[in-house]
Chains A and B, each alone.
Chain A
């Protein structure tokens, strides 16, 4: 690690720097702290206290009610996310392998066409995609959502693997080919064992993207097949009855916990995925 600071000593400017950084830490944490505090309050506590007041009674009722409302949708999200992540990652790995080591006439053009998919505003494909899902009998099913997420996740997963494999020396693969090893043998014996970091990056990126998706969820599902993000939005934005903010916040926490957990456990890969996704090409 390198740094531009001269000598770390106690000076006025260093105190100022630390003050700003710590203040920013607190500001970034406020929404999370407020969500947690509110989720453990009783409705009376919420109306008498304020955002950062400690609950007079720590109550789990918000969490119980929220879980009762959203648990079915939580499982939907798992049913959608797990297969979609695995399939799109597997296809991405194979695509990346071909696009970096088995190039053929037109494969570069294909890669360029695919790259655009990383920027594609999904609004331009929503209608035809919903017609297609309808024709396939997959409208309003979790299977339909898996399908959509795989298709529109391919651009990123392929990009991840292709850019990773491009840096592997050609000689390795050429030697294996001269020894008579075939396409899949080389992939399994040479490429896959050295792919662990990029597989992690891809899995975590896809998990975060698909779990957090709202647009596809709200367009391609209804009622029982909705993912958690859609259910949360429905819960928070219904205007019937008294607002139960503790339930809202507990539900938001439930929707956010899986990705937060992944971030805490595997943050390194998450950041790498973000920057890989950012610096395209």
Chain B
């Protein structure tokens, strides 16, 4: 589209009209260049300095990254992210797909059921964390409920068990996000060409195998988007940890986002905190660059 052709006579009004779109976009361009890219660069620079409570610009090379890799807490946080992210993505996908497939079977009250599955997504992670912290309370939460209901030997004290506390984060995060994944897949299922399914049915294939072999493989792009979104949520997870465990017991449930926050803002380790932020950015880039690349490529083929 070209806006030039229309304005053959360049009166002041026309000139203004030609500049208006650029003027309107200018503040946002400034904000994006400075507030996004400039600030990333700034943080990147800080990660090469020995800044503690205040920024200082004394160059120390890769020393902060070396300290980070020597830091046991960072390794715990990274390992937790792998466990949390893997389980969260896997379980959420399975539940989301299953519920979507089941809901796609001419279910009565489908709208109502969908609304229930999706409501956790409207809540703050802090509210979710608060609720699940209470539900998983050792001695008073589900722990007690199931014993009261007659399961005498039931024990659920993961919240205070350093080896299992990460699973608590997984449970709460799955509860919050699985309805959303269900909604994504349901929308995908509604777009599947019905004639393919009818043909498979005439061939005598059973419904489960039609779904497994025909329908779900055709939803590969939805899988791709879902994994990307969930991985993105996992890497950014901060509120949930803050509300549920604050990283504890000890630092056994730390995630990188929590690590970054506490080292940068509570412990006065600005340099190392910045280094951890840059590594988080790297993780995000490793996920979205292939995604955006494939998105743009398929767009061009259309």
**Cβ-based interface call for B270 (8 A):** yes
**Cβ-based interface call for B89 (8 A):** no
Contact across chains for B39 and A28 when beta carbons are under 8 A apart: no
A263 to B35, CA, bound (A): 31
Most buried by B among A104, A114, A124, A208: A124
**What residue in chain B is nearest A114 (Cβ atoms)?**
B32
Q: Given A28-B117, A262-B122, does the pair A4, B130 have CB atoms closer than 8 Å?
A: no
**A219 → B minimal CB distance (Å):** 6
**A101 → B minimal CB distance (Å):** 7
**Cβ-based interface call for A57 (8 A):** no
Contact across chains for B117 and A24 when beta carbons are under 8 A apart: yes
**Chain A facing B: main interface SS:** helix
Contact across chains for A263 and B122 when beta carbons are under 8 A apart: yes
**Cβ-based interface call for A8 (8 A):** yes
Contact across chains for B132 and A260 when beta carbons are under 8 A apart: no
Contact across chains for A20 and B25 when beta carbons are under 8 A apart: no
Residues of A within 8 A of B113 (CB): 21, 25
Most buried by B among A3, A115, A211, A219: A3
Query: How many residues of chain B are within 8 Å of chain A by beta carbon?
Result: 106
| Number of chain A interface residues as a range | 35 or more
Other-chain contact of A278, B141, B207, B210, B229 (Cβ < 8 Å): B229
Q: List residues of B whose CB falls within 8 A of some A CB.
A: 1, 3, 6, 13, 17, 20-22, 24-25, 27-29, 31-33, 35-40, 42-43, 46, 55, 98-99, 102-107, 113, 115-128, 130-135, 140-142, 144-145, 148, 175, 179-180, 183-184, 187, 189-190, 192, 194, 197, 201, 207, 210-211, 215, 225, 229, 232, 235-236, 238-239, 242-243, 246, 257, 260-261, 264-265, 270, 273-274, 276-278, 280-281, 284, 288, 292, 295-296, 299
Instruction: Beyond A5-B105, A121-B235, A127-B264, list 18 extra A-B contacts (CB 8 Å).
Output: A4-B197, A8-B105, A13-B207, A28-B179, A31-B175, A32-B119, A51-B134, A113-B37, A120-B40, A121-B284, A126-B264, A177-B3, A183-B20, A215-B238, A215-B257, A233-B130, A260-B123, A274-B180
